[in-house]
Amino acid sequence: MDFRQFRYFVTTAEELHVARAAERLGIAQPALSQQIKALETQLGTRLFLRTKRRIELTEAGQAFFDEARNVLDHAERATRRARDIGRGEAGRIDIGIVGSAMFDQPFPHLLSAFRKQHPKVHLAMHELPILRQIDALPQRELDVAVVRAPLPHRLPEGVEHFPLSRQRILAAIPDSHRLASAASISLAELADDDFVSFLDPEGIGLGHDLIDVCRRSGFTPRVTQHVTEIGTMISLIAAGFGVSLLTDILTPIQFPGMCYIPLNEEHYSWLVVVHRRFERSATVQSLLDGLRSIARD
């Protein structure tokens, strides 16, 4: 039994007229009659009651008709879905992000455009720690991760990355700070301050950048608070718990009690895209192509 027999039967059952069904199917009436008889033989029961002028469904025929029509509907949906996914036009993409990624304007603009161009693709966003995102890629729990460099020296096998964008690092300080009115400062001027830092593993992310650039400026920062969320960091700075280093894409977040001050030195932080090296999903590959198109220094 194949889908062709299902289609022949369903069409005949809808028309209840062999000649009209044959015309609709584009085959000869005797060939259709033979297919229906062969189907009845396979099932071991009659599907139609035949008279000289018309045919009717038997009780078994009505039951088979209901199920066969559902089978054809499911097969048609499965065919459309497979074709859409194969062309990268449907499916689901699980995207891991760090919070600051959504403030890099080309990135959310790309996501918005992608959703409009691919209305059958569901983008699921997951804000997670950097290492959890990277580990989720080979397990296919995530498809793409947008995280802060630096990354671990060794990535899981089959995982690679490319730079998305670079942002300049600046100081975030309470507006009651002695340097709050300065047009710019040297990082060394914050050597005696308490720092608020992101809770990143050693050598990874913006938490590492904070320690690294401070050491390059001649001091080791005294970190007294660790946070995981941008909002928490900014509110702690505003409350006078300390100072920190953030990237310039976050300046649209204006919070009472804190301010951003440019640094005289040029220090940068990178957003990078981490993904599977051999991506088998055309839908995910389409998004990766879009991300590469907006990558910039």
Q: Does one domain contain both 159 and 34?
A: no
Closest of 194, 187, 198 to residue 230, by C-alpha:
198
- pLDDT tens-digit profile of 214-233? 999 999 999 999 999 999 99
Q: What is the CATH number of the domain that holds 13?
A: 1.10.10.10
Closest of 248, 271, 250, 268 to residue 148, by C-alpha:
271
Q: Does one domain contain both 207 and 224?
A: yes
Q: Does one domain contain both 109 and 57?
A: no
Q: Write the burial class of residue 287 (CB in 10 Å: 0-12 exposed, 13-18 middle, 19+ buried).
A: buried
- pLDDT tens-digit profile of 175-220? 999 999 999 999 999 999 999 999 998 889 999 999 999 999 999 9
Residue 245 has φ and ψ, to the nearest 5°, of -120, 125
Q: Does one domain contain both 125 and 157?
A: yes
The C-alpha atoms of residue 163 and residue 158 are separated, in whole angstroms, by 17
Q: Does one domain contain both 174 and 119?
A: no
pLDDT of residue 74: 82
CA distances from 141 to 5, 83, 84, 132 (A): 40, 23, 22, 10
Q: 7: domain range?
A: 3-86
Cβ atoms of 212 and 260 closer than 8 Å = no
Quickly tell me which residue has 């015309």 as its tokens.
23
Q: Does one domain contain both 135 and 215?
A: no
Total domains in the chain come to: 3
Radius of gyration of the chain measured on its C-alpha atoms: 31
Report the alpha-carbon angle 76-82-158, nearest 5.
165
Q: Kindly give, in sequence order, each residue whose CB lies less than 8 Å from that of residue 274, ignoring residues fewer than 6 positions away.
A: 133, 134, 137, 144, 145, 146, 147, 151, 155, 159, 160, 161
Report the alpha-carbon angle 289-293-297, nearest 5.
130
The C-alpha atoms of residue 93 and residue 263 are separated, in whole angstroms, by 38
- pLDDT above 90 for 282: no
Cβ atoms of 194 and 264 closer than 8 Å = no
Sorting pLDDT into bands at 50, 70 and 90, what band is 275? very high
Q: Does one domain contain both 264 and 290?
A: no
Q: What is the CATH number of the domain that holds 280?
A: 3.40.190.10
- pLDDT tens-digit profile of 130-164? 999 999 999 999 999 999 999 999 999 999 999 99
| Residue range 18-36: mean pLDDT, rounded | 88
Last-in-domain residue among 32, 54, 86 = 86
Overall pTM surpassing 0.85 (yes/no): no
The C-alpha atoms of residue 243 and residue 172 are separated, in whole angstroms, by 6
Q: Does one domain contain both 110 and 241?
A: no
Q: Does one domain contain both 137 and 224?
A: no
Closest of 242, 125, 148, 153 to residue 200, by C-alpha:
148
Q: Is the peptide bond before 163 cis (omega within 30 degrees of 0)?
A: no
DSSP 226: E
Distance of CA 243 to the CA centre of its chain: 33
DSSP 3-state assignment of 235?
helix
Q: Does one domain contain both 17 and 45?
A: yes
Last-in-domain residue among 86, 113, 133 = 86
Cβ atoms of 222 and 233 closer than 8 Å = no
Q: Does one domain contain both 251 and 179?
A: yes
DSSP 3-state assignment of 17?
coil
Q: Does one domain contain both 175 and 207?
A: yes
